[in-house]
Amino acid sequence: MIDAKTRLIGLIGNPTGHSLSPAMHNPMFEKLHLNYRYLCFNVEKNELNECIKALKALNFAGANVTIPYKTEIMGLLDEIDPVAKKIGAVNTIVTNGKKLTGYNTDFEGIIKSLEEYTVPEGKSIVLIGAGGAARAVCYAMKEKKARVIILNRTQKNAKKLAEEFGFEYAGLDKLDSIKADILINSTSVGMYPGINESICTRGQLENFRIVFDIVYNPAETKLLRDAKKAGCKTIPGLKMLAYQAAGSFELWTGKKADLAFMMNSAKKEISGE
Ligand code: ATR
């Protein structure tokens, strides 16, 4: 029930129309009888400042931040959690009185997803892609002292990221000859509507034990299907999405979210159930 005490949480981004976050958070609030509602706000760049002021003025409980504002938003907040500051990106805002604090729960989403399947410390990791999602993976893997080689279509982007973190890098063609414990795809290849595409061939996947795809729509990508056939353990992007959502949920409400319930809610939303 929405009443005079309902607290609001907003998603700030552009575009936000396909976000799975309302489908994860609202049923979770309901399940735990918490009087919160999660809404999406498509915000133009020149109105970001006004939007932050509105969060304070309208007494929002907090917000999520998504593409393209995860870095830019940092300059508008009152306080940034040290982990988010180190990463250089905020995906969660918590309101405390009129003070807004920024956090990063994407980072813990990556670590917790991996840790369900393995101990990342000392593992060899092939990271495909060198964009924003790859950067979050690099921070997480640096923290966990994993050994990473970044492979990217455009080698100079891989070089820049690798040098920043002290990792190795190469072009995507290196996939034919490389063997490692874990493969992580941080590119958008395989994402809806390109669901029949994969960044790797079946043969290339035989050189890995665990394959983690950051793509979460579809719930099982071609990369993950092929990886299963090649005998790998697979980690779906939905797992990471649910972990980051659960992290935000706990920051806003102080209550522990049910991870499987959130993941299932997101899955249902994708399949249109
Ligand atoms: P995000 O912030 O979601 O990571 P991004 O910053 O646009 O998105 O990064 C996209 C990454 O996916 C890049 O590493 C990109 O490779 P380039 O640096 O060569 O552009 C990679 N990528 C996107 N489409 C790709 C494709 N079809 N094949 C190979 N790599 C692709």
- pLDDT one-digit tens code per residue, 188-228: 999 999 999 999 999 999 999 999 999 999 999 999 999 99
The answer, yes or no, to whether any atom of ligand 1 lies below 6 A from the CB of 89, is no
Q: Which residues are catalytic?
A: 70
Query: How far is it, in rounded angstroms, from Cα 92 to Cα 197?
Result: 31
Mutation to probe ligand 1, out of 169, 188, 214 (largest number of atoms < 8 A from CB): 188
What is each CA distance from 127 to 93, 111, 157, 189, in whole angstroms?
28, 14, 13, 13
Provide the pLDDT for residue 110. 97
Provide the pLDDT for residue 70. 95
Report CA 112 to chain centroid distance, whole Å: 11
The answer, yes or no, to whether any atom of ligand 1 lies below 6 A from the CB of 113, is no
Average pLDDT score, the chain:
97
The answer, yes or no, to whether any atom of ligand 1 lies below 6 A from the CB of 205, is no
- Give residue 85's pLDDT band: very low, low, confident or very high (50, 70, 90): very high
Query: How far is it, in rounded angstroms, from Cα 93 to Cα 79?
Result: 10
Ligand 1 center to 205 CA (angstroms):
20
Mean pLDDT of the region 227-254: 98
Mean pLDDT of the region 175-189: 97
The answer, yes or no, to whether any atom of ligand 1 lies below 6 A from the CB of 154, is yes
The answer, yes or no, to whether any atom of ligand 1 lies below 6 A from the CB of 49, is no
Calculate ∠ Cα 208-209-212, nearest 5°: 85
Mutation to probe ligand 1, out of 151, 153, 197, 204 (largest number of atoms < 8 A from CB): 153
Ligand 1 center to 75 CA (angstroms):
26
Provide the pLDDT for residue 192. 93
> How many other CB atoms are found less than 10 A from the CB of residue 154?
11
- Give residue 69's pLDDT band: very low, low, confident or very high (50, 70, 90): very high
For 90-114, the pLDDT digits (tens) are 999 999 999 999 999 999 999 999 9
- Give residue 132's pLDDT band: very low, low, confident or very high (50, 70, 90): confident
Q: What percent of the chain has pLDDT over 70?
A: 100
Read out DSSP for the chain? ---TT-EEEEEEESS-TT-SHHHHHHHHHHHTT--EEEEEEE--GGGHHHHHHHHHHTT-SEEEE-TT-TTGGGGGSSEE-HHHHHHT---EEEEETTEEEEE--HHHHHHHHHHTT---TT-EEEEE--SHHHHHHHHHHHHTT-EEEEEESSHHHHHHHHHHHT-EEEEGGGGGT---SEEEE-S-TT-TT-TT--SS-HHHHTT-SEEEE---SSSS-HHHHHHHHTT-EEE-HHHHHHHHHHHHHHHHHSS---HHHHHHHHHHHHHT-
Provide the pLDDT for residue 1. 85
- Report whether the peptide linkage leading into residue 193 is cis, meaning its omega lies within 30 degrees of zero: yes
Ligand 1 center to 126 CA (angstroms):
15
Locate the ligand 1 atom nearest the alpha carbon of residue 132 and give its number.
Answer: 2
Burial class of 98 by CB neighbour count within 10 A (0 to 12, 13 to 18, 19+): exposed
Locate the ligand 1 atom nearest the alpha carbon of residue 130 and give its number.
Answer: 14
Residue 66 has pLDDT above 90, yes or no: yes
- Give residue 273's pLDDT band: very low, low, confident or very high (50, 70, 90): confident
Locate the ligand 1 atom nearest the alpha carbon of residue 154 and give its number.
Answer: 19
Indicate the pTM of the whole model: 0.94
Axis-axis angle for helices 106-115, 132-143 (nearest 10): 60
Locate the ligand 1 atom nearest the alpha carbon of residue 153 and give its number.
Answer: 19
Mean pLDDT of the region 36-44: 98
Query: How far is it, in rounded angstroms, from Cα 179 to Cα 20?
Result: 34
Backbone angles phi, psi at 271, to 5 degrees: -85, 0
Provide the pLDDT for residue 84. 94
Mean pLDDT of the region 124-143: 95
The answer, yes or no, to whether any atom of ligand 1 lies below 6 A from the CB of 95, is no
